[in-house]
Chain A
Amino acid sequence: MTDARIIDRRYSHYDGPRLGPRHAMRSVYIQTLRRVLGLHRPARWKVLPILSAVMAYLPAVAFIGIVALLPRRVHALVPRPEAYYGFVSAAIALFVLFVAPEALCPDRRSRVLSLYLASPLTRTTYLVAKILAVATVLLLVTLGPPLLFLVGLVLESAGPHGVTGFGREVWRIGASGVVLAGVYAAASAAFASLTDRRAVASGASLLVLIGSGAVTAILHFALGAPEWVLLFGFNPLSGVSAPFELVQRIHGLPGFVPGLDTAALVAACAAATWAGLLVCWARYRSIQVTR
């Protein structure tokens, strides 16, 4: 008796189910996540995602360790959950600079986009899948670390009191994570849609996002321009940027520029997100793959 078997690898016709565009979008979404995170890819593609994740999660782990292992008098060193974003802004910036270019540029550079557009996907469904994947990866650093930090504090009885307090904090962290991921996913996708070179897209994102923060800060703080100019600052490394200022308001704090109206901050972030998506859509709408 042997368990050997003959594997028939000849081409055969397929009569199984054919799933629709949602399945195609899910496949693009998962493939993009795997690509961006370096899964099933050589080691050099894993360095940046791992580095970013370590930068984002290490402070949370360290603070939880301090609360769990060190005497109570040292706990004053540990920030509140709402202040945690200051520790992960570098990781967020790193993800913003490399995720969207990695997700979007290679498809145009290697011209695999023509295969996608010849499939059940449309330009819109393709872009939705791609940008959702970019936002999901950004959520790993905008949502995951503060949430981990909060759970750690709660487990060590150092977090917000009661179910209501915990629920409110979870909602705030969730909303903050979605705002940051949404704004920066759309903005970085817009830059990535304008070029098929990853380095150029990352450079443009760096220049515009950090440049906008620097210019608005100089205009307001050095030259005395009105506070509303700060609505045009989107530097993730600076506390004085519209998305991070909105995060402060979500957590019930006055923020760095209390004079700025919260509604104006919401409008600025929404406008930046829609502008990014619009640029992306317009760019892809004009790409001809079979002309």
Chain B
Amino acid sequence: MDVVVQADAVVKRWGGTTALAGATFTMGRGVTGLVGANGAGKTTLLGLVLGMHRPDAGRITVLGRDPWTGGADLRARLGYAPGHDALPPDVSAHEIVRHVAEVHGLPRRAATERASEALFEVGLGEERFRLVGTFSTGQRQRAKLAQAIAHDPRLVLLDEPTNGLDPVQREEMLGLVRRVGHELGIDVILSSHLLEEVERVCDAVVILDHGTTVASGGMASLRGAVPELIVELDEPPDGARTLVDALAAAGAASAAMDGGSTVVVALEGDVVHDLVRDALAATGLAVRSIQRATASLEDVYLRSSEAAPPRLPRP
């Protein structure tokens, strides 16, 4: 895997507040989600990636270099769209995008051309000479994305890019992020507290909680790591209770869910499949489906951050 960002026990304090308390993770190519509640340390981490701050302890590398000492060369290859409004309202979208591209090292002529390309790319081609102050929230978010990609960065950092967008605009923005990461070939770090959108767009995820990494890796591997079997019954509620009792007698941990029509069985060894089969045969319950549980990112997040009680009783 090509490593884009690597953090090793990174600590960052702001006065008496510890924003990052030993975060360790590796981000590869593609779109990586940076997930965590407000105050988890996401924005501080973005600042470290951009080289705006120096870690108090630990080490972080971006594209193989220390962002604090990498300086101008490294930052010229990064794009950044902050979560807050960051464009002056009294200049045109084209002017500010061109200017940011120039500041990132592009000659004026190239910056002018690429500003148009980037604004067309995000769907603001026709509006590019309008003042940013006349834009809707969705258009401003698109303009922010345009300025982040206009200079053709290797890595772009997007902080809450769907903030303030309605469902349709959010869908369009996620489509743009997906396109930037997968079709334009620009690696993306998408910082968000909206798990559902990260799940839909990202190839990998880093979950922060109180400044530490509680989970990181490819989306498929994180979601697939749920050792549970879901048995959906076509029976009245007492059927689930019957099955749970039968499984308990056979030595398998399980619990009734969803009002009693579903039983979640802990997958502890290959024998559990046989125990479930035998219990169903013995009880004569009608089965609608049996499937391996797949976790949503929310499940992974809640378990990782220990915010949710375990669903299953442990034997």
Pair B84/A118 contact, Cβ less than 8 Å? no
Partner of A10, one of B53, B99, B117: B117
Pair A120/B106 contact, Cβ less than 8 Å? no
Chain A minimum-CB-distance residue to B179: A11
| Interchain pairs with CB closer than 8 A, number | 124
Task: Tell me the count of chain A residues lying within 8 A, CB to CB, of chain B.
Answer: 38
Pair A18/B106 contact, Cβ less than 8 Å? yes
Interface membership of A283, Cβ < 8 A: no
Pair B121/A110 contact, Cβ less than 8 Å? no
Pair A31/B99 contact, Cβ less than 8 Å? yes
Instruction: Output the least CB separation between A77 and chain B (Å).
Output: 44
Binds B, one of A22-30, A131-139, A231-239: A22-30
Contacts of A24 in B (CB 8 A): 72, 102-105
Most A CB contacts (10 A, CB to CB) among B78, B89, B91, B96 go to B91
**Cβ < 8 Å to A, chain B residues 148-190:** 149, 151-152, 157, 184-185
Chain B minimum-CB-distance residue to A106: B88
Partner of B99, one of A9, A13, A27, A110: A27
Q: How large is the interface on B (under 10, 10 to 19, 20 to 34, 35 or more residues)?
A: 35 or more
Contacts of A11 in B (CB 8 A): 117-118, 120-121, 149, 184
Interface membership of B236, Cβ < 8 A: no
Pair A110/B82 contact, Cβ less than 8 Å? no
0 or 1 for each of B90-108: is its CB under 8 Å from A? (1 = yes) = 1100011001101111111
Interface membership of A127, Cβ < 8 A: no
Interface membership of B226, Cβ < 8 A: no
Interface membership of B85, Cβ < 8 A: yes
Partner of B47, one of A45, A111, A290: A290
Pair B44/A290 contact, Cβ less than 8 Å? yes
Contacts of A106 in B (CB 8 A): 88, 90
Interface membership of B301, Cβ < 8 A: no
Pair A112/B87 contact, Cβ less than 8 Å? yes
The 4 A-B pairs of least Cβ separation, nearest first, read A290-B47, A120-B72, A18-B105, A14-B152
11 sample A-B contacts, Cβ–Cβ < 8 Å, listed by A number: A11-B121, A14-B106, A14-B151, A19-B107, A24-B104, A110-B88, A114-B82, A118-B78, A118-B80, A121-B103, A289-B82
Q: Can you add 11 more A-B contacts, CB < 8 Å, to A117-B50, A122-B72?
A: A9-B120, A11-B149, A14-B110, A18-B104, A19-B105, A21-B72, A23-B102, A24-B102, A114-B86, A289-B47, A291-B47
